[in-house]
Structure 1
Amino acid sequence: MITLHGFPASNYYNIVKHALLYKDVPFEEHLIFTGNDQLLAVSPVGKVPAITTEDGVTLSESSVICDFLEEAYPDTPLYPESATKRAMVRQIMKIAELYFELPSRRLIPYVFSGVDAPDAIKKEVRQVIKRGIPALNRLCQFSPWIAGETFTMADIYMHYVNVVVINCASTQLDWDILAEIPGMKQWNETMSQSDIAQKIEADRRANMPEFKTHIKALVQAAQSK
């Protein structure tokens, strides 16, 4: 059985978890936070998520794990058959990561501490997101799924990118970012209503108090050095 290492407060962890549940692949969860030396045993740079495969191999990086799951468990595909269409799905995922998730992630410390980010950081984050909006407007189809008629990994990826966008960038920037992409908010709501997404969201909420305690301990340890 696959072991999924990480914690439910992580959106990257939840991308992999959603793919596992969608593909109906048996797995168990191993709760472990970043900053734990034990994580290096399964993740070369100590990041989550990571998995241990059925044959004992460890893999990290969410996109690598998702590609592995697609190849190892192809019965319920999350990518189109056409190489071109697969590349188009990955293009959406990459743009969502680079121009939505990563800039929004810069605001996480301020959200957790309950203070406003400096204006300079807000400006930088806004500029990057503004580059992503027209790109996603051109690429996302919402007919009814992001890449067309078929549910793909792009739907999973974008949904958990949006968790960070909504909770960090939209709140810190006072900006309804999803509304800038026609169809995105309705699609995101549809995604959130699935049984899998609701289970993952419940697990995320349940894990948040423990995760915040962990983050505070890391900050205090760093300040004491």
Structure 2
Amino acid sequence: MITLHGFPASNYYNIVKHALLYKEVPFQEELIFAGSDALLTVSPVGKVPAITTDDGVTLSESSVICDFIEETYPDTPLYPESATERAIVRQIMKIAELYFELPSRRLIPYVFSGTEAPDAVKEEVRQVITRGIPALNRLCQFSPWIAGKKLTMADIYMHYVNVVVKACASTQLDWDILAEIPGMKEWNDTMTQSDIAKKIEADRVANMPEFMIRVKAKMQAANAQ
């Protein structure tokens, strides 16, 4: 059985978890937080998530894990059959990560500390997100799913990217970013209503208090130095 290592407060962890649940792949979870020695035994750079396969091999990086899951458990596909269409799905995922998730992630420390990000940081984040908006406008179909008539890995990926965008970038920048992409908010609402998304959200909320204790401890330690 696959073991999923990490913690439910992580959006990258939840991308992999959603894919496993959608494909009905048997797996177990091991709660490990970033920065722990235990995580380094399964993730070369100590990043969440990681998995241990049925063969005892450890893998990290969410996109790598998602590809492994797709290739190992193809019966419920999350990528189209056409190589071109698969590339389009991956293109959407990559743009969502580079131009939505990663810039929004820069604002996490300010959200967690309840402080306002410096104007220079806000402007840098805004510039990157502004580059991503027209790209996603061109690529996302919402008919009814992001890449067309069938739910794909792009839907799962974007949904959990948007968790960070809404919690961090939209809050710190006072900007309804999802509204900039027609159809995105309605699609996102549909994604949140699935039984899988509801379960993952419940697990995330339950994990947040312990996660925040660890975050605050790290911030206090850093401030004490």
Look up the equivalent residue of 2:114 and give its one-letter code.
G
1:11 equivalent in structure 2: 11
1:28 equivalent in structure 2: 28
1:218 equivalent in structure 2: 218
1:44 equivalent in structure 2: 44
Q: How high is the TM-score relative to the length of structure 1?
A: 0.99
Identity value in percent: 84
* Distance (whole Å) between structure 1 residues aligned to residue 39 and residue 212 of structure 2: 18
Look up the equivalent residue of 2:76 and give its one-letter code.
T
1:185 equivalent in structure 2: 185
Measure how far apart 1:222 and its partner are.
3.0
1:2 equivalent in structure 2: 2
* Distance (whole Å) between structure 2 residues aligned to residue 38 and residue 124 of structure 1: 35
- Aligned to 1:5, the other structure's residue is in SS state strand
Alignment of 1:1-225 (within 5 A): 1-225=1-225
Unmatched segments (≥5 aa) in structure 1: none
Look up the equivalent residue of 1:220 and give its one-letter code.
Q
* Distance (whole Å) between structure 1 residues aligned to residue 38 and residue 55 of structure 2: 20
Q: Deviations over 1:4-36 (max 9, x none)?
A: 000000000000000000000000110010110
- How many residues end up aligned between the 2 structures? 225
Q: How high is the TM-score relative to the length of structure 2?
A: 0.99
* Distance (whole Å) between structure 1 residues aligned to residue 64 and residue 222 of structure 2: 31
Unmatched segments (≥5 aa) in structure 2: none
Look up the equivalent residue of 1:53 and give its one-letter code.
T
Look up the equivalent residue of 1:206 and give its one-letter code.
A
* Distance (whole Å) between structure 2 residues aligned to residue 188 and residue 97 of structure 1: 16
Look up the equivalent residue of 2:157 and give its one-letter code.
Y
Measure how far apart 1:218 and its partner are.
1.6
4+ long deviations beyond 6 Å: none
- Pick which of 38-47 and 211-220 moved more: 211-220
Look up the equivalent residue of 1:169 and give its one-letter code.
A
Q: Deviations over 1:125-176 (max 9, x none)?
A: 0000000000000000000000000110000000000000000000000000
Look up the equivalent residue of 2:111 and give its one-letter code.
V
Instruction: Let me know the Cα RMSD of the aligned residues.
Output: 0.7
